[in-house]
Structure formats: C-alpha cells, structure tokens
Structure 1
Amino acid sequence: MDASGSQGEVRTVDDTVDRGATLTIRLIRSFEFRNWKPVVVRNIDLDTLTLKELTEIVAKSVKNSSLPPPFKNFAYDCFKIEYQAFGLKTNDPLINTEDDDKLILQDNLSLALQGITIIFSIMDTSQVLATVSSIVVAIIFIFLFVALLWYIVWKLYLSHFTFIRELLGRGSDNNIAEPPAPRPSQPRRRISRHRETS
C-alpha cells in the first residue's frame, strides 16, 4: 500500500527522472581565510564526461548561481577529490591535504576512472602552494618557540637548583657553611641640641 491508499501499484522510474550523478563541488576562494562555497551540479554522466567538460559545466553553474562576485570571477584551475566512498575522511575541514598525486584530477581520463563519487574541491593551485608554505613557516615558528621556551625553563631550573644548593649551604666542596656573624650593635649617640648657658 502506498501513501495514496491504492494496493498493488508498481512504481517504475520515469524516463524524465535524472539518471546522472549529482556532484557537490567546493569552490575554494581562499585557503588562508577558509572561504569556500558549495555548488551542486546535477545530471553528470561520470562514464563519459572529461575534466574539461566538467570545468565548463561548473563555470556555467557558477555564473548562473547566486554566489557573491568574488566566487564568480575567480579563476579555478584544479579539481581535487575530497573523499571517496568507503575511504577515510580528512581531518582538515577545508580540503584533503594528502595524496595529491592520486586525488587531483587529470584531463585525459573520464571522471568515473578517476574515482569521482560524492564531493570534490575546485581551487587555484597557486593558493595551495602559498598555504603549504605558510604551514611550513608556522611549523618552523612553533618549533623555534618551543625551543626558546625549553631553553628558558632549563635556565630557570639550573638557577633554581644552584639557589637551593646555596640555600642549603653546600658549595662545591660539600662543606656546610656557617651563617654569617651578626654585626655588633653600637649604641647610638645622642646629640644634644640645647646649649649650656652661663
């Protein structure tokens, strides 16, 4: 029984129903500021469509969409698979940063042969290189900061350790030093301000 209440009705797929794949494409405008917008492209034949044809379809979809002008006028030149079916997802919320040689799409193969399934990203490759170099600089900065912090902690530890040794009175010869003798107190002299009159 279906929702309309009739029994025994067999439902078939109508020929007007879209049989192609639906792809979600991330338009990555900036890696530094993590600016990206999704674009959904429908009726894609993964077996015959090449990357060049997909680029034209995506460009037409972006021009006709309600995206802001910075996304419409940006030069996207690289497609990369975000994740594949039954594969591991990346920890980076913006783009998969691993396996560039396997996940960046090639021009001469169909999309099905390259493993297109669900979501992939389109971006500018010069920004990828800039992002990678900024990550390397950040890692070097963090390493230097940790090294400086370690040096400061080590110096404080050494100075604290020598302070404790001096506090306990143990020098290099391990003799217990006697406390310094107190200074002898001298009585204060009073100066009289009154003059004797005769």
Structure 2
Amino acid sequence: MDPPAPDNAEVGDVSTVLTNLVRPKTSATITVRVIKSFEFRTEKSLVLHDVNLESSTVADLKSMALQAIKTQPGWKAYRSFTDSNDESRRLDTLKLYTKAHGAKTTNLIINLDHDDWILDDDHKTLSQVGLENETEVSLFNHQAYEIFKAHPETRWDEVGA
C-alpha cells in the first residue's frame, strides 16, 4: 500500500511517488556495494547514474562497475580486484542487497540468505532480474563469499585485507 499523499499534494505530484518509481527504467540510479573483504567488512559504495534497466544486462552492470573502479579516483585499494588472475580475489559476482523501501539484512556486509538473489545469468536484462531505481547490489568474489557464508565471522585485528 502506498503512503497517503500529503494534504498539499496534487494528483500526479512527484512528491507522492515512491523513489523507485520516480525515474524511468531507462535512467535508473543503482548503488553497487563493492566488497573487498567479508571478514573485515571492507566495502565501498559506487553510485551509477542513468543506467538503462531495460537494455543493460547483468554482464553490462559488472562491466560498468569494474570500469568505474579502474578509472575513478578513490578506488585505488580496489583496483587489484578488478582484473586479478587470482580467482580468489577477482570481483565476479553480483547479488541483490536491497530495493528502495525494502527491508535490509541485519548482516552489515552482505545478506547471507537468499542465494536466489545472486545475479548469475549475465545475459538477462537488469529489469528482468528485478532491479529498479535505487536498488542496491553487492559486487564481490564468489569464492570468498562461499567461505564467509560457511563461517560468517568478522575480524577487527590488524592483520587483513
């Protein structure tokens, strides 16, 4: 159920529309949570604007995120994870974290339940896999995710990523 419109709102007023419905599917804003380390909760958010959810595929979203990490300032610590030959380090998997106005997980780094939210079909469009404006997805190394999922313990000591 949509929240009630404010008293001063007119029919069709943008202020009454949920934010995930404000922008067209051809110009969405997507937040990519780039996870460097699960156990140390090392994550940085990348905001991608004007993403076409109807024509961009899961592979395209990965490519956009990796290209931004390689070229934008402030991502130096993550660049070695973009095209690493080491399969245990390479950022290779996307998973839905949350949609706008949706519930978030209690785990601060990634939602460990709902493995069905892993976007594993690179050929599907983002719209087909359920992404909307203001959706958050996690980008991470699948091998590291499986290890963390088996033993979801976080660390705070000086040794780490």
Q: Would you say same fold, with TM above 0.5? A: yes
Instruction: Give the unaligned 5+ runs of structure 2.
Output: 1-23, 82-89, 154-161
Equivalent of 2:118, from 83, 89, 104? 104
User: Is the contact between residue 84 and residue 115 of structure 1 (CA under 8 Å) also seen in structure 2?
Assistant: no
- SS of equivalent to 1:27: strand
Task: Give the superposition deviation at 1:84.
Answer: 2.3
* TM-score, normalising length: structure 1: 0.55
Equivalent of 1:70, from 65, 73, 77? 77
The one-letter code of the counterpart of 2:79 is K
User: Is the contact between residue 46 and residue 110 of structure 1 (CA under 8 Å) also seen in structure 2?
Assistant: yes
Within 5 A, what are the aligned runs for 1:7-22? 20-22=27-29
- SS of equivalent to 1:87: coil
The answer to whether structure 1 residue 35 and structure 2 residue 52 are counterparts is: no
Instruction: Give the unaligned 5+ runs of structure 1.
Output: 1-17, 139-198
Task: Give the superposition deviation at 1:86.
Answer: 4.7
* TM-score, normalising length: structure 2: 0.67
Give me the CA root mean square deviation. 1.8
User: Is the contact between residue 28 and residue 37 of structure 1 (CA under 8 Å) also seen in structure 2?
Assistant: yes
* Cross-structure match for 1:52: 59
> Is the alpha carbon distance of 1:21 and 1:66 closer, same or farther for their aligned partners in structure 2, counting shifts above 3 Å?
same
- CA shift digits 1:58-87 (9 cap, x unpaired): 111111222343311202100001012453
Kindly indicate which of the two structures has a greater share of residues assigned to helix.
1
* Cross-structure match for 1:151: none
* Cross-structure match for 2:97: 82
Tell me the number of residue pairs that the alignment of Structure 1 and Structure 2 aligns: 118
* Cross-structure match for 1:122: 139
Within 5 A, what are the aligned runs for 1:172-191? none
| Aligned-partner Cα distance in 2 for 1:61–1:68 | 8
* Cross-structure match for 1:168: none
- SS of equivalent to 1:49: coil
User: Is the contact between residue 78 and residue 125 of structure 1 (CA under 8 Å) also seen in structure 2?
Assistant: yes
Equivalent of 2:32, from 12, 16, 25? 25
| Aligned-partner Cα distance in 1 for 2:104–2:141 | 22
User: Is the contact between residue 46 and residue 111 of structure 1 (CA under 8 Å) also seen in structure 2?
Assistant: yes
* Cross-structure match for 1:91: 106
- CA shift digits 1:165-185 (9 cap, x unpaired): xxxxxxxxxxxxxxxxxxxxx
* Cross-structure match for 1:186: none
User: Is the contact between residue 30 and residue 36 of structure 1 (CA under 8 Å) also seen in structure 2?
Assistant: yes
Task: Give the superposition deviation at 1:88.
Answer: 2.6
The one-letter code of the counterpart of 2:147 is A
Runs of 4+ in 1 over 4 A off after TM superposition: none
- CA shift digits 1:105-145 (9 cap, x unpaired): 1212110111112111100011111112223xx7xxxxxxx
